[in-house]
Amino acid sequence: MAKRTVRDFDVAGKRALVRVDFNVPLKDGRVDDDTRIRSSLPTIMYLREQGCRVILMSHLGRPKDASDPALVLDPVAMRLGQLLEAPVRKLSELMGPGVEAAVASMKPGDVVLLENSRFDPREKKNDPTLVYELARFGDIYVNDAFSAAHRAHATTAGLATVLPAMAGFQMAREVAALEALVADPKRPFVVVLGGSKVSDKIRVIDRFLDLADRLLIGGAMSLAFLKAQGLSVGASKVEEEGLPYAKEAMKKAVQSKCALVLPTDIVAADGLVEDAAAWVVGADAIPEGWMGLDIGPATAKRYAGIIATAGEVFWNGPMGVFELAPFAEGTKVVAEAMAACPGVTVVGGGDSVAAVNRFGLASRMDHVSLGGGASLAYIEGADLPGVATLPDREEA
């Protein structure tokens, strides 16, 4: 069901409280990757065009106290202003008399960014007192932070219960893409999963074994599947608690219509460093003392061939330690195969997004989800508070 968006409501002239996800990496006091900031620009620009006064809220990092100077949003405000080519007034508080005065003095089209929402301990508790104090600043609530939608926090869920609520454009795109993926994927539907831990993705694996036609496994988690088969993985770092999950997944795959595909060769190395000695070995022949750090070329070629014939592909998790050049090829081959695939291509958050950005291929994907944990939770079938609290278009 499509959620009500800013286009479905008369937002003209309103004070818009907008939850964005500006939880971006910082380096030397500057934004190091502005992907998430750019993702909310269409919503912010639309609201400004409608004469709204735009009050932005976001968290940044995981502050241990109420005023971690390394996690203030000043660098974010600076970058946002550059992208908007308009002033962005950064406030030093989330609420209080200073915020009230600043909001009261706003003119149509003005943009204000409140301080890190997690500086207030009531945020993560979805405390009603914080919800109502923030609600005083807005006439409407816009949620454009799908990547934080799995959190039932005051700014991600609570405000939607006390103000007229709607999705921003980024939120709407994320929900539409993932809803189509789980409800009616194009066939054959291919899923590529990588990363480190089977336990983190066991519910997703279980869901895709019911939904997909082929499930391609890579990354460190593939080593857990190999070890669960009784194969030696050398000194590879394998999540021991993930082994029972891997065994259950392989058992279910035999009984399902989905083919679970594992690497047949591995790039092994004697150390996790750029200049480590490395060579390609069979997946059943990783030497003692060596680590599996990427899928091998034969596996990469096989995975690329499967992706090429897909009607739809979903990818989450790298195939190896792609941050280091000797172990990046498997991830790069998968990314290039996705880019060339004539079917629908969806990249699902986290390191996969970093990979397609690194290889300059993000623009060739049909949808790049910034959701990470939220994307996987949605696919699992979990209720996302930040989505569930928004009214459906027809209900609205």
* CA 215 remoteness from chain centre: 20
Determine, yes or no, domain membership for 178: no
Per residue in 244-273, pLDDT (tens digit) is 999 999 999 999 999 999 999 999 999 999
In this prediction, residue 320 carries a pLDDT of 96
Chain Cα centroid distance, residue 139: 29
Whether residue 232 is contained in a domain is answered as yes
Q: Are residues 231 and 336 in the same domain?
A: yes
Q: How many helices (H) and strands (E) does the chain have?
A: 14, 17
User: So what's the pLDDT on residue 196?
Assistant: 84
266 and 141 assigned to the same domain: no
Active-site residue identified among 197, 203, 207, 393: 197
Question: What's the predicted TM-score (pTM) here?
Answer: 0.91
Q: Is the pLDDT of residue 148 over 80?
A: yes
Answer whether residue 390 is part of any domain: no
Contact between residue 306 and residue 191 where contact means Cβ atoms under 8 Å apart: no
Q: Do 257 and 118 have their domain in common? A: no
289 is catalytic: no
- Same domain (yes/no): 167, 198: no
Clarify whether residues 224 and 200 are in a common domain. yes
Tell whether 240 and 344 lie within a shared domain. Answer: yes
For residues 29 and 155, membership in a common domain is answered with: yes
Query: What pLDDT score does 197 carry?
Result: 86
CB distance 165 to 159 below 8 Å: yes
Among residues 19, 36, 90, 118, the one annotated as catalytic is: 36
Catalytic residue among 350, 371, 372, 386: 350
Domain boundary among 171, 204, 237: 171
Of 142, 171, 200, the one marking the end of a domain is: 171
- Write 206-212 long-range contacts (CB < 8 A, 24+): 206/249, 206/252, 207/182, 207/379, 207/380, 207/381, 208/258, 208/314, 208/379, 209/249, 209/252, 209/253, 209/256, 209/258, 209/260, 210/256, 210/258, 211/182, 211/185, 211/258, 212/185, 212/258, 212/314
Tens of pLDDT, residue by residue over 80-95, are: 999 999 999 999 999 9
The domain spanning residue 259 has which CATH number?
3.40.50.1260
Residue 192 tokens, joined: 């590529």
User: Is 36 annotated as catalytic?
Assistant: yes
Q: Does residue 248 share a domain with residue 332?
A: yes
Indicate the DSSP class of residue 280.
E
Average pLDDT for the chain: 95
| Same domain for 212 and 110 | no
- Residue 371: band (very low, low, confident or very high) from pLDDT cuts 50, 70, 90: confident
Domain with 202 in it: 185-380
Enter the DSSP assignment of 383: -
- Active site (annotated) includes residue 30: no
Neighbours of 225 (CB within 10 A): 25
Give me the pLDDT at residue 349, please.
Answer: 72
292 is catalytic: no
Domain stops at, among 171, 198, 223? 171
Q: Which of 360, 387, 349 is nearest to 200 (CA)?
A: 349
Asked if residue 396 has pLDDT above 80, the reply is no
Assess if residue 393 is contained within a domain. no
pLDDT at position 348? 87
Q: What is the pLDDT of residue 395?
A: 64
In contact, 319 and 219? CB cutoff 8 Å: yes
Q: What is the mean pLDDT of residues 357-372?
A: 93
177: in domain: no
Q: Are residues 138 and 201 in the same domain?
A: no
Structure tokens at 1: 């069901």
Q: What is the pLDDT of residues 299-347, one digit of tens each?
A: 999 999 999 999 999 999 999 999 999 999 999 999 999 999 999 999 9
Identify the weakest region by mean pLDDT among 123-132, 302-311, 378-387: 378-387
- Do 11 and 145 lie in one domain? The reply is yes
Mark whether 298 and 325 lie in a shared domain.
yes
Q: How many domains does the chain have?
A: 2
Residue 272 maps to a domain: yes
Percent of residues, the chain, with pLDDT higher than 90: 91
> Of these residues, 81, 271, 282, 373, which one is catalytic?
373
Coil, strand or helix: which one is 4? Answer: coil
Q: Is residue 1 part of a domain?
A: no
